[in-house]
Amino acid sequence: MSQQTDVSTGKDPFAEEVVRARLVAFLSEQNGAPTTIEKIKRFSVGFSWLTYGFDAQWRDAGGVQNRPLILRIGPPNGIFGPYKASPEFFALQSLRDTGVPVPQVYWYSDAGEVFGAPFFICERVSGEAPVPWVSAGQDFGDDERAVLAEQFVGALAAIHKFEWRGTPIEASCTVVNEHNAAAKQIEFWQELLARSGVRRFPAVAWALAWLRANQPVAPKVSIIHGDYRIGNFLEQERRITAILDWELVHLGDPHEDLGFVCLRTFRGGTPYMCRLITREDLYRRYAELSGFKVDPAAVHYYEIFNNFKLVAIHAAAAGCFEAGKFNDLRMPAMGAQMPRLLLQLEKMIEGLA
Amino acid sequence: MNNSLDRLIDGLIATVRAEIIPRLDDEFARGQAYGVVDILNNLKPRIDWLATPLVDEVREQETLLSELAAQFGDRAGFPRAATAIAQLQAGATAHDIELLRNSLDEQICASIDWLGQQRATLPAEQIQNIEGQLKSHLQRQLKRELSLTPKPLFGEISKG
């Protein structure tokens, strides 16, 4: 039994062999030529979208084509479901030639006619994803940190500078304005938290009251990655080869991504935001590259908001596990850590952290 | 914990059976893994959460809710407390206490929501006073929970 096995039928609708057969049919039709799928592997990353790596081969007028590709499927039982592939697909497509390292995207669907769930297929980029949690002695050296930090901040500034109006992103994301950007996000995550089925926590009610009462006005509306942090990019020989995991992409206040970068949980016990850069250097370099001044109070607000968002994600994971939608023990392990996040949230509101 | 004990044990058993045993090549290790399943099956009908921290929490919740009711109980729309620890029957299980704790937390949440809406209409001193009590309560509650929560093994879990 795998993590996606349907308890009632004992079958996994997203098993590698099932997905391979559907990929063969889909890609053969798209390529107009028989296509073979080799080395398909489902990765055990994330709790939400399912990720598969594979090699596709077909012959066309240019000869034999051999492409290393990634398939991502948003399963009906994922913690943020029901899913749509179009926001991530269009964000990646639109940002392709803007200096943001993103994989080339090829196909997508928001319907379930191919795999039984929304999906998209993109280029498989080489590299390793450094994780937020490291043991002593495993951290970056100073040179490596500086080189990666420059690219990390540069990509974020480029995402926020991108003019999304008039692109397909405008149609695939909920459009917000400078005054309701924070409110829309609070609403979204509060709804996810309620759907989790996890009990109510006074510390969350306290945080929500604070978040509602202190909403900042956004300096502009930008594309927001929504999960911009260490662990969500690939790195190879000191080069960031791809920014990954765009499933939470939306339109909002650029301070929201900065607040996410600054979360304590991604510092790995170091003084560096995302183990890469001091807060002061982040603000300074981001302002230089993005062309707008960072408001530290707005970043603080969004650190609190993002901590609340992490609480909602942890609750959703615990709720998914409790409902039997997944049997991945990482989920109750996340649920067990909610007191740590809630105490952090309370301290942040008090200005003690 | 934010999952039920039964579901956690079922999940542990399913994981050992489906994800660990099939990947173990060593006979002794496989036998030990079956031993884990066997012990978990035996524990399931015999264990429950520890009651003492839950009882401590419920007592503090009642104190806070009494204070809130004393200050705002005559105000229109203030959410009234409906349950009390005295209602627990003799022999109540940890699960019964847990349900009461959750119900009292709901009431505290409703009170916080109400205070947020009424903030502009209440005297500043009264708000400051009650917020101080709420904050102290939240901190005690979270610190108690945290004292029972070991540091996570997310690094090991993510890298294997």
pTM of the prediction?
0.91
Partners of B81 on chain A (C-beta within 8 Å) are none
> What mean pLDDT is predicted for residues B99-123?
91
Are A118 and A155 part of one and the same domain?
no
Are B72 and B105 part of one and the same domain?
yes
Domain count, chain A: 2
Are A214 and A259 part of one and the same domain?
yes
ipTM of model? 0.91
Tokens of B31: 């036998």
The reply to whether B152 falls in a domain is no
The reply to whether B24 falls in a domain is yes
User: What does pLDDT average to over chain A?
Assistant: 92
Structure confidence by residue, pLDDT tens digits, A135-187? 666 788 899 999 999 999 999 999 999 999 999 999 888 889 999 999 999 99
Q: Which residues, in sequence order, are bridge partners of residue A37? A: A56
Contact criterion met (CB < 8 Å) for A209 and B112: yes
Structure confidence by residue, pLDDT tens digits, A67-96? 999 999 998 888 888 899 999 999 999 998
The reply to whether A266 falls in a domain is yes
The reply to whether A132 falls in a domain is no
> What mean pLDDT is predicted for residues A121-136?
86
CA dist., res. B30 & res. B22, Å (int)? 8
* pLDDT (0 to 100) of residue B82: 62
Determine the 3-state secondary structure of A181 from DSSP: helix
Determine the 3-state secondary structure of A300 from DSSP: helix
The reply to whether A305 falls in a domain is yes
Going by C-beta distance under 8 Å and a sequence separation of 6 or more, which residues neighbour residue B145? A339
Domain count, chain B: 2
Q: Which residues, in sequence order, are bridge partners of residue A54? A: A69
Are B38 and B77 part of one and the same domain?
no
Pairing outcome for strands A222-224 and A63-73: unpaired
Tokens of A50: 């399912």
Q: For residue B85, is pLDDT > 70? A: no
The reply to whether B104 falls in a domain is yes
User: Of A123, A157, A192, at which residue does a domain stop?
Assistant: A123
B82–A contact, CB cutoff 8 A: no
Please provide residue A276's backbone torsions phi and psi, each rounded to the nearest 5 degrees: -120, -35
Q: For residue B22, give the chain A residue with the closest CA.
A: A1
**Chain A residues with CB-CB distance to B under 8 A?**
1-2, 5, 131-135, 198-206, 209, 212-213, 314-315, 318, 321-322, 324, 327, 329-330, 332-333, 335-340, 342-343, 346, 350
CA dist., res. B69 & res. B5, Å (int)? 34
The reply to whether A128 falls in a domain is no
Are B120 and B60 part of one and the same domain?
yes
Contact criterion met (CB < 8 Å) for B109 and A205: yes
The reply to whether A10 falls in a domain is no
